[in-house]
Structure 1
Amino acid sequence: MSTPDTSAGTAGAHFTPTGSFAAATDRRRVVFATVVGTTVEWYDFFIYASAAGLVFGQLFFEPAGPQFATILSFLTVGISFLFRPLGAFIAGHLGDKHGRRFVLMITLVLMGAATALVGLLPTYDAIGIAAPILLILLRILQGISAGGEWGGAVLMAVEHAPTKRRGLFGVSPQIGVPLGLLLASGMMALMSILAPGDAFVAWGWRVPFLLSIVLIAIGYYVRRRVDESPVFREIAARREQTRTPIVRLFRRHALLVVLAALIFAGNNAVGYMTTGGYIQNYSTNPDGPLGLERGPVLWAVAGSAVTWLASTWCAGWLSDRIGRRTTYIIGWVLQLVGVFLLFPLVNAGTVWSLFAGVAVLTIGLGFTYGPQAAYYAELFPASIRFSGVSISYAIGAILGGAFAPTIATALVQATGTTWSVTWYLAGMTVIGLIATLLLRDRSGIPLGPDHEAEQERSPIVGASRA
């Protein structure tokens, strides 16, 4: 039987003179701050992907021609993923040496500044080739920020959580993703009403980007009021920070990083059909098979974010009762069903059938995303946990979502059918399932530095546990 985890469970009181009530209050503050901060971060990330699917091809890459301009526009979405590992390496190093909260403040400001500047960027007609170059540079900054944000948010939530409620607490950074998608799609849909037609292309798309300034100010204020993770405070008090956490991570846990990355890749490739703007572009393209109106499609995607949020929360809650691994396996099966139903429903050609397709898809997505925060945190030792969580996530994002919209666009253009995309997404789902089956469940393992030896034992099936 495991020794109770005093650093990550009821242990908030260990550092808080007012006892367990103050600890519980701090935990609620952490959950709120995590939800707000990650929602703002992903709102910034998703309005870019949405704009890439709707207008960036026309505004920044028009000389390439209609079809290739769309591919180039989606490539800028993917390029940011290539820089997520850089953000993860930097944030992991800083987070394992200087704390989770410190990194979260930096990533929030960096993401917000890059997003606001996109909203002010002149188009190709105004400044020529400099416009797409500047757009790509700002997207790279977004990628660096996103690479560092998620790991810090996850550890702040999970390391503050009671041991038996880590899955539920870990949902807080996870639901920031569907909330960010809901907010981003809702703002884009609202602007399509307030600035319809040519006005949306001329200036309407810029407003959601500029709104980021207000949201970042709110997120920064909320995060400043949150205490550092109790696990890191204990590590810092003992002066046990690892000098080179990344070197130690890859020396001892390289295969674990790869498997954890493949788990996220299986979820991320499928999720980026909506969050990466592909479904929005496919269904609204006037030269495409559907030609639906932009506004209703954006509202349908926003509605699917609600079902995604609900299934993500349910999965986190369920993982505390049946284990992370079992919850994931259920999620992969549901996701596979959603993948095969997606395009038959979308291709029915109505907004309601499109909503049904993406909503069904999000049920499986939620079940393969909700347990991830707690699952990742329980895989890695305390002293290198930030690096392990962030880098696994960033690599998984490259393997999964980075170029999923581009791949989907190219597959349809090459084959003339969306079934090619379906089989691609089904393959990524099966890869995620296999990676899950190769890892043991470590639900409830102590997270504090007192249990580093237990945390160092490999969770890979068949590996030595000595």
Structure 2
Amino acid sequence: MKFNKRKINTVDINQAKKSVFATGIGNAMEWFDFALYSYLAVIISKNFFSQVDNDEIKLIFTFATFAIAFLLRPVGGIFFGKIGDKYGRKIVLTTTIILMAFSTFLIGILPTYDQIGIWAPIILLLARILQGFSVGGEYAGAMVYIAESSPDNKRIRLGSGLELGTLSGYILASILVTIMFWLIPSSSMESWGWRIPFFISIPIGLFGLYLRTHLEESPIFENDLADSKEETQNILQIIKDNKRDILLCIVFVAFFNITNYLLLGYMPSYLDENVGIKDTISTPITAVVLIIMLPFAIMFGRLGDKVGNKKIISIGLTLGIVFSLISFQFLNNGNLAFLFMGLLMIGIVLSVYEGTMPGTLPTLFFTNVRYRTLSWTFNIAVSVFGGTTPLVATWLVHETGNNLAPGFYWLFVSIIGLIVVVFLFKDTSKQSLKGSYPTVSNAKEFKVAVENPKDSLWWYSESQQDK
């Protein structure tokens, strides 16, 4: 393949940073909604499953509604992924944020089971399904957009900025719920107070929509796909050509999201139901842990660019193995200092993944199928492993009677993840995205790319082997 320096993608680093903020706000919206549902799960279970006598079973039904909604994420991933690869990344990102804001607002205005009977949990499920469908195109699209808009040598660092949206959305929900628990009596909180936070989704969504309508299309899409006449590959052909990378993506997403949902989804209810620590105590402590995680996520993103994403991800998995049982022992100690340390252990491991995954996952796939393949692979894995984590963890504790059972689950997943990363994953930091010329931000980087054509197009030999 003859090297054409005119195809090198040049980006403005300041514009790339603005793009991170515009896409990150959608991530904040997703996790603001998710945090509300998690923190208010016990109250939601009483309002929408009041016909069930056992409180633990009520909670399982609430998390089952949460998990079923995740099954629509792959459908959304397939739908929006195809649009994103054909018509552009921007159009999807402006659509998904509208749908997310509406579905979150809808939960806040729903009548309860005592008011409309069985229709209450049914409509709740439909709202969660709409949320899952829109999120199916949101996060993968944000990862792809940032990866394609970032210089190759700063991709992981800028990708970590997306997770600032995750943490910020969750922190906002944590602070808001904490204040409400302090100010509003329990009876009022259960009857009407829980609805208030869901209304905030509308202004957040409108602000995010404004920012996204002012985004430019990613330079790689503009240069490589916008005018492409290439025949679209079907899913079966994509799977055949990308088996190894799809497997890697599934494993990456599994250990990332099981860790994620243990801390951000399951923990409030776990501490309330199994340890006896109420939301008024656990929520502000979790918020402090999340605030501490913010600089750690950025730090691990920078390290991913500097020393390689494979090394940093491996460190995270090793810490997951070491901390898995210790953290849950600390959580069950009953002492608030130990509670904080247990949550912080999970948070530090999650920070490693938050800092590296958004800039790593898009590098697994070629440009012409990147959005589609990452979108449905990511969402299938999230649905199977992430969305079911609260349900699986609750079931494990219920069946075994052992409060450490979720820690054993986390330990097993971390061991599998480390084996896969060490033996199957090749470092992708500082390299051009598969199927595209390098992306640079200054003349020096441009010169290096031109002087090293084989390194710049490192992926070309792999693409020929697949044919």
Shift of residue 465 of structure 1?
7.8
Name the CA distance, whole Å, in 2 between partners of 1:406 and 1:208: 24
Q: Which residue of 1 aligns with 2:78?
A: 89
Q: Which residue of 2 aligns with 1:329?
A: 314
Asked if 1:144 is matched to 2:133, the reply is yes
Question: Contact 1:103 / 1:148 at 8 angstroms: preserved in 2?
Answer: yes
Which residue, out of 146, 156, 159, partners 2:145?
156
Query: How do 1:70-149 and structure 2 match up within 5 A?
Result: 70-149=59-138
Structure 2: runs of 5 or more not aligned: 439-456
Q: Which residue of 2 aligns with 1:201?
A: 190
Shift of residue 415 of structure 1?
1.4
Q: Which residue of 2 aligns with 1:415?
A: 400
Q: Which residue of 1 aligns with 2:160?
A: 171
Asked if 1:226 is matched to 2:211, the reply is no
Name the CA distance, whole Å, in 2 between partners of 1:3 and 1:318: 30
Shift of residue 448 of structure 1?
7.2
Deviates more, 1:401-410 or 1:229-238: 229-238
Question: Contact 1:382 / 1:449 at 8 angstroms: preserved in 2?
Answer: yes
Dislocated runs of 4+, deviation >6 Å: 2-8, 463-466
Q: Which residue of 2 aligns with 1:15?
A: none
Q: CA distance change for structure 1 residues 146 and 237 in 2, over 3 Å: closer, same or farther? A: closer
Q: Which residue of 2 aligns with 1:58?
A: 46
Which residue, out of 204, 218, 223, partners 1:215?
204
Question: Contact 1:93 / 1:246 at 8 angstroms: preserved in 2?
Answer: no
TM-score in terms of structure 1 length = 0.90
Q: CA distance change for structure 1 residues 116 and 242 in 2, over 3 Å: closer, same or farther? A: farther
Which residue, out of 288, 300, 308, partners 1:315?
300
Shift of residue 47 of structure 1?
1.5
Shift of residue 423 of structure 1?
1.0
Name the CA distance, whole Å, in 2 between partners of 1:300 and 1:457: 51
Structure 2 SS opposite 1:213 = helix
Question: Contact 1:267 / 1:400 at 8 angstroms: preserved in 2?
Answer: no
Q: CA distance change for structure 1 residues 8 and 434 in 2, over 3 Å: closer, same or farther? A: farther
Deviations 1:380-435 (A, max 9, x none): 11111111221221122123212111111111111111222211111111222222
Q: Percent identity of the aligned residues?
A: 31
Structure 2 SS opposite 1:274 = helix
Query: How do 1:181-200 and structure 2 match up within 5 A?
Result: 181-200=170-189
Question: Contact 2:84 / 2:141 at 8 angstroms: preserved in 1?
Answer: yes
Question: Contact 1:283 / 1:291 at 8 angstroms: preserved in 2?
Answer: yes
Asked if 1:35 is matched to 2:20, the reply is no
Q: Which residue of 1 aligns with 2:371?
A: 386
Structure 2 SS opposite 1:349 = coil
**Amino acid across the alignment from 1:309:** L
Q: Which residue of 2 aligns with 1:301?
A: 286
Question: Contact 1:38 / 1:176 at 8 angstroms: preserved in 2?
Answer: yes
Q: Which residue of 1 aligns with 2:268?
A: 280
Deviations 1:356-387 (A, max 9, x none): 21112111111123211221121111111111
Name the CA distance, whole Å, in 2 between partners of 1:241 and 1:371: 32
Name the CA distance, whole Å, in 1 between partners of 2:374 and 2:267: 29
Query: How do 1:256-295 and structure 2 match up within 5 A?
Result: 256-276=245-265, 278-285=266-273, 288=274, 290-295=275-280
**Amino acid across the alignment from 1:279:** M
Deviations 1:162-204 (A, max 9, x none): 1111111111222222222111222211211221311111111
Q: CA distance change for structure 1 residues 451 and 257 in 2, over 3 Å: closer, same or farther? A: same
Name the CA distance, whole Å, in 2 between partners of 1:31 and 1:281: 32
Shift of residue 308 of structure 1?
2.8
Shift of residue 126 of structure 1?
0.7
Name the CA distance, whole Å, in 2 between partners of 1:7 and 1:173: 27
Name the CA distance, whole Å, in 2 between partners of 1:110 and 1:327: 35
Structure 2 SS opposite 1:426 = helix
Structure 1 SS opposite 2:242 = helix
Structure 2 SS opposite 1:371 = helix
TM-score in terms of structure 2 length = 0.89
Deviates more, 1:125-134 or 1:256-265: 256-265
Shift of residue 223 of structure 1?
1.2
Q: CA distance change for structure 1 residues 424 and 264 in 2, over 3 Å: closer, same or farther? A: same
**Amino acid across the alignment from 1:297:** S
Name the CA distance, whole Å, in 1 between partners of 2:164 and 2:310: 19
Q: Which residue of 2 aligns with 1:20?
A: none
Name the CA distance, whole Å, in 1 between partners of 2:250 and 2:5: 26
Structure 2 SS opposite 1:443 = coil
Q: CA distance change for structure 1 residues 178 and 166 in 2, over 3 Å: closer, same or farther? A: same
Structure 2 SS opposite 1:369 = helix
Query: How do 1:362-381 and structure 2 match up within 5 A?
Result: 362-381=347-366
Question: Contact 1:40 / 1:180 at 8 angstroms: preserved in 2?
Answer: yes
Deviates more, 1:101-110 or 1:238-247: 238-247
Asked if 1:441 is matched to 2:427, the reply is yes
Question: Contact 1:92 / 1:246 at 8 angstroms: preserved in 2?
Answer: no
Question: Contact 1:108 / 1:219 at 8 angstroms: preserved in 2?
Answer: yes
Structure 2 SS opposite 1:417 = coil
Q: Which residue of 1 aligns with 2:450?
A: none
Which residue, out of 384, 387, 391, partners 1:406?
391
Shift of residue 331 of structure 1?
0.8
Q: CA distance change for structure 1 residues 121 and 59 in 2, over 3 Å: closer, same or farther? A: same
Question: Contact 2:21 / 2:162 at 8 angstroms: preserved in 1?
Answer: no
CA root-mean-square deviation: 2.4
Q: CA distance change for structure 1 residues 5 and 256 in 2, over 3 Å: closer, same or farther? A: farther
How many residue pairs get matched?
A: 446
Structure 2 SS opposite 1:272 = helix
**Amino acid across the alignment from 2:322:** V
Deviations 1:328-351 (A, max 9, x none): 001101122232222111111134
Shift of residue 292 of structure 1?
2.2
Question: Contact 1:151 / 1:386 at 8 angstroms: preserved in 2?
Answer: yes
Question: Contact 1:93 / 1:387 at 8 angstroms: preserved in 2?
Answer: yes
